[in-house]
Structures are given as structure tokens and as C-alpha cells.
Amino acid sequence: MNEKKIKGEETKRKIIEVSETLFTENGYDSTTVQDICNKAEISKGAFFYHFPTKEFLFLEILDKYLSELDKRMNEIEKRSKNTLKAMEEMVVILEEIFITSEGKFTIFLEFLRKASKETEIMKKISYQFQKYKKYVYEMIENGKKEGNIKKEIDSEFISQLIISLAIGMILKSSLFLDQENEDFSKKGIKFILNNIKKEEELWKF
């Protein structure tokens, strides 16, 4: 890789990092391209070389976050010995990514807010949640095959319910920041999971 290309990638990475900070601190709408350029110490020409518009940059950041979540989910699948362990770790991953990281949570809310106005962002987020629902659905089906989850469980309904609760857990952390309410949210998801497992597999919490 030549020096010019390396420098270009460093500039692009810096723009993204600075934008994440500014979007988190000031919100998307209140952050201008000039604000980003000033903080990144670059010219507007350099900005527009990498990102045609601020909206394009925002979508790039969204893709970065979704890719990170995908990576963590794939790690669960590879690392876990069985479906039950994977489902348990899924709850932990959601907490690590959103609840214990204030900056990431704040910008995630910006994604959701923009999704209500921007069709492209809405499509990306909707697609991603559908993918996670399918991921949970397949975990439940695998659990049935392993004999750890009750066969009579409606996998489609439960996967939708778990994803809805996960989203609720994320949003709830913006209203209740104390540890007690965070624990309550996690217990809510575990309660659902406990009710689809065979008795010998129940979690204690």
C-alpha cells in the first residue's frame, strides 16, 4: 500500500472518529461539516473527497456499528458449545455494546431518530433487526434439536419477543441509569429464555 493511500485511509478514519464524538455530544443535526473539519483539522475538500455528504458519513458510521454487532454475534456462535450458552452470551453482548458504553448508546439513539425521517437509514436498521430475529429463531430451532428447548415453543413468536425485549433493554437504559434497573432489564430477557427451556436447563438469577 503506497503512502498516499495510507494517508487517505488515516484521514477517513479520523473523520469517522471525530464525527462519532460530535454526533454524540451535539447530535447529528447540530453538527455541521465545518465542525467536523475543524475538529479533525482537515479542509472541506478532504472531507468531501471521502464523503459526498454528511448523510453519507452517517450511513458509514451506522454500517460500522452494525458490522461490529455482527462480528460479536458471530463470535458467540463460534465460541459457544451449545445453543443455551450462546443465548446467555447474547444478553451479555447487548449490555457490553450499548448499556455500558454511553457514547455508543447515544449515537445509537441518533440512528433511531434519523431512521424515522430517512428511508435509507430505516431500511438498514429494519434489515438488521430482521437478521437478528432470524439469528435468534435459528438458535431456538437448534436448541430444540439439541433437546434443551421445549419443542412446542413457537420459535417465530419467541424470537420476535426476545428481539423486542432486547431493544427495550437498550432504550430503557436511557431512562433508568442505576444498576438496579439495568439488572431488571436483563432479568426480563432471561425470564423469557427460562420459560422456553426444559426444566433441567433453567438459569438461576
> pTM above the 0.95 mark?
no
Average pLDDT of the segment spanning 75-92: 74
Q: Which CATH fold would you assign to the domain 59-201?
A: Tetracycline Repressor; domain 2 (1.10.357)
Q: How confident is the model at residue 119 (pLDDT cuts 50, 70, 90)?
A: confident
Average pLDDT of the segment spanning 164-169: 74
Domain extent listing, the chain:
1-52, 59-201
Helices (H) and strands (E) in the chain, counts: 9, 0
Average pLDDT of the segment spanning 72-99: 71
Q: How confident is the model at residue 111 (pLDDT cuts 50, 70, 90)?
A: confident
Rounded to an integer, what distance in angstroms lies between the CA atom of residue 180 and that of residue 162? 21
Rounded to an integer, what distance in angstroms lies between the CA atom of residue 203 and that of residue 193? 9
DSSP 21: H
Does the CA dihedral 107-110-112-117 come out positive or negative? negative
pLDDT tens digits for 31-43? 999 999 999 999 9
Reply yes or no on whether the pLDDT at 161 is more than 80: yes
- Average the pLDDT over each of 95-104, 118-127, 157-166 and give the range with the smallest value: 95-104
Average pLDDT of the segment spanning 158-176: 73
Give me the pLDDT at residue 101, please: 56
Burial 9-33 (b: 16+ CB within 10 A, else e): eebbebbbebbbebbbeeebeebeb
Q: How confident is the model at residue 204 (pLDDT cuts 50, 70, 90)?
A: very low
CB within 8 Å of 104: residues ≥ 6 apart: 65, 97, 98
Residue 197, classed as helix, strand or coil, is: strand
180 grid coordinates: 438496579
158 grid coordinates: 419467541
Residue 149, classed as helix, strand or coil, is: strand
Average pLDDT of the segment spanning 140-149: 87
Burial of 62 (0-12, 13-18, 19+ CB in 10 A): buried
Average pLDDT of the segment spanning 52-62: 88
Give me the pLDDT at residue 205, please: 44
- Average the pLDDT over each of 21-35, 66-80, 103-117 and give the range with the smallest value: 103-117
Rounded to an integer, what distance in angstroms lies between the CA atom of residue 191 and that of residue 186? 9
Determine the Cα angle at 174 with ends 85 and 54, to 5°: 100
Q: Which CATH fold would you assign to the domain 1-52?
A: Arc Repressor Mutant, subunit A (1.10.10)
Average pLDDT of the segment spanning 5-19: 91
Looking at every residue in the chain, the average pLDDT score rounds to 79
Please name which of 143, 195, 200 lies closest in space to residue 165, comparing C-alpha atoms.
Answer: 195
Strand partners, 149: 197
